[in-house]
A = this chain, B = another copy of it.
Amino acid sequence: MTITAKASLTPSQTEEIDHVALDEDYVLTASFVEKVVDASDAGDGLKLRSLLEDLHPADVADLMGFLTAEHRTVVVLWLPPDLLAETLPELDDNIREEVLERVPHLTLAEALQELDSDDAAAVVEDLEDDQREKVLAAMPEVDRAAIENSLRYDEDSAGRLMQREVMAAPSFWNVGDTIDHIRKQGEDLPELFFDIYIVDPHNKPVGGLPVSGLLRAARTIALVDIMEPINAIAVDQDQEEVAYIFEKYHLISAPVVDAAGRLVGQITVDDIVNIIQEENREDILRLAGVSDEDRGSSVSEIVRGRVPWLAINLGTAVLGSIVISWFEATIAQIVALVILLPIVSAIGGNAGTQALTVTVRALATRELNSSNAARTFRRELAVGLANGFVLAPLIGMAAGLWFQEWRIGAVIGMAMVLNLLVAATVGVLTPLTLSRLKFDPAVSSAVFVTATTDFFGFLIFLGLASLVLL
């Protein structure tokens, strides 16, 4: 958890000093970014430092995203070391890797000691093997152990996400005991905590109490009499599950337990917000066939992430081509049919993508499971049919008038209704099937859905046309 004591200057505050870093929406202004660029071009370190030193680490990270790699190098050189430390966990992955390569390992070892164990581990994880060894070797034993322990858990697990520092109280304590303990042991407790976990003699959490509840209760009240049920998180639980639990039950923090149910750490909601954003980002990009990329990605990294999807798309698009080739003779006789193919393709693809997106989203938010899958499918079919009955007359009449041939209108109208049923079917069943097979339903679904609606759309339209018009 990184809740830094230093809050950002509010826009109104910054107006009082000579450089306005943030606009009214708390976004870095273009003119501030320009000042940083100018100062680093001029190699004016003192100017750079004066521009940067009052920024919140999150704003420094943001600034780095707006700079080119060369300017980042200069900025890193002039960042005060403690600000650099707090900025590291905030950076985009690609930029963090780039920055880490440039920071001497002793500076890094010192910087990491300023961070909570979970943030420090996240940074160390991004180091090259040899750099990692050097950095860890230069750290005090206790910090190194905490980081190594954190890295022992799977990358996307609760264990990696948690901080080891927690405020635990034995179940026989009362409110007064707990408050006295906090006053005395202040230094060993987490810098910031929201819930106290009440543990039994085996160190298993049996309840929780918000700090404000502790403050409000009389000193003689036993903790067990005012504690509330808790949602304990298993240390090997996937971070997506953890985010779901936090979101569903509106948690601020939750205890993490090992396989034996013993308290080993806690997760706080601010880390969860990041994970929710990360998962949403993944879903939206995967639906479009974009692999992980960010502001720091190079052109070749981006191309390597996107070309495979385009190549798959090329392969599936050939299916549509093949269908058309089957009807070459029909088309040679009635070239007008070709003019309608983009419409068949666009409407089928779009309706399929609508059904697909709704289904992928419902799966991601767990609003869709086996108890309502059949109902969802029937509803999408009904929607497809209704869409067809609205759109088919429109396009049918338009096509009939364009080609002065009502039979062409009838064919495209009928084909559209049938293809919208195909779109609803593949739009729902593709992600449902992928999800049941334990694949990510967002990945590659869109390519498959549009290929299928093209294939059947052309087949139905050209098939009907051959039957009716020839």
Which A residues are within 8 Å of any B CB, using their own CB? Answer: 1-10, 25-28, 30, 33-34, 56, 58-59, 62, 65-66, 68, 167, 179, 182-183, 186, 189-190, 192-194, 210-216, 218, 228-232, 241, 244-252, 269-270, 272-274, 276-277, 280-281, 283-285, 287-290, 293-295, 299-300, 302-303, 306-307, 309-311, 313-314, 316-318, 320-321, 324-325, 328, 331-332, 335-336, 338-343, 345-347, 349-351, 353-354, 356-358, 361-362, 365-367, 369-372, 375, 379, 382-383, 386-387, 390-391, 394-395, 398, 447, 450-451, 454, 458
The answer to whether A303 and B391 touch across the interface, beta carbons within 8 angstroms, is: no
Question: Which residues on the B side are within 8 Å of A244 (C-beta)?
Answer: 25-26
Closest-CB distance, A446 to chain B (whole angstroms): 8
Question: Which residues on the B side are within 8 Å of A345 (C-beta)?
Answer: 317, 342, 345
Set B66, B284, B300, B310: member contacting A351, Cβ < 8 A: B310
The answer to whether B245 and A26 touch across the interface, beta carbons within 8 angstroms, is: yes
Question: Which residues on the B side are within 8 Å of A193 (C-beta)?
Answer: 212
Q: Residue of B at shortest CB range from A399?
A: B321
A9-B229, A314-B394 are known contacts; what are 13 more A-B pairs with Cβ within 8 Å?
A: A5-B228, A7-B229, A8-B229, A8-B249, A65-B367, A182-B212, A194-B194, A287-B287, A288-B357, A289-B353, A295-B367, A303-B386, A345-B345
Assuming A211-B212, A314-B343, A369-B30, is B299 touching A249 (CB within 8 A)?
no
Set B62, B276, B447: member contacting A350, Cβ < 8 A: B447
Question: Which residues on the B side are within 8 Å of A369 (C-beta)?
Answer: 27-28, 30, 66
Set B215, B309, B366: member contacting A214, Cβ < 8 A: B215
The answer to whether A379 and B189 touch across the interface, beta carbons within 8 angstroms, is: no
Question: Which residues on the B side are within 8 Å of A231 (C-beta)?
Answer: 7-8, 10, 26
Per the bound structure, the CA–CA distance linking A356 and B309 in Å amounts to: 15
Set B28, B182, B270, B379: member contacting A215, Cβ < 8 A: B182
The answer to whether A2 and B250 touch across the interface, beta carbons within 8 angstroms, is: yes
The answer to whether A295 and B362 touch across the interface, beta carbons within 8 angstroms, is: yes
The answer to whether B248 and A310 touch across the interface, beta carbons within 8 angstroms, is: no
Set B241, B328, B336, B395: member contacting A335, Cβ < 8 A: B328
Q: Residue of B at shortest CB range from A338?
A: B338
The answer to whether A324 and B299 touch across the interface, beta carbons within 8 angstroms, is: no
Q: Residue of B at shortest CB range from A276?
A: B276
The answer to whether A339 and B367 touch across the interface, beta carbons within 8 angstroms, is: no
Closest-CB distance, A247 to chain B (whole angstroms): 5
The answer to whether A26 and B248 touch across the interface, beta carbons within 8 angstroms, is: yes
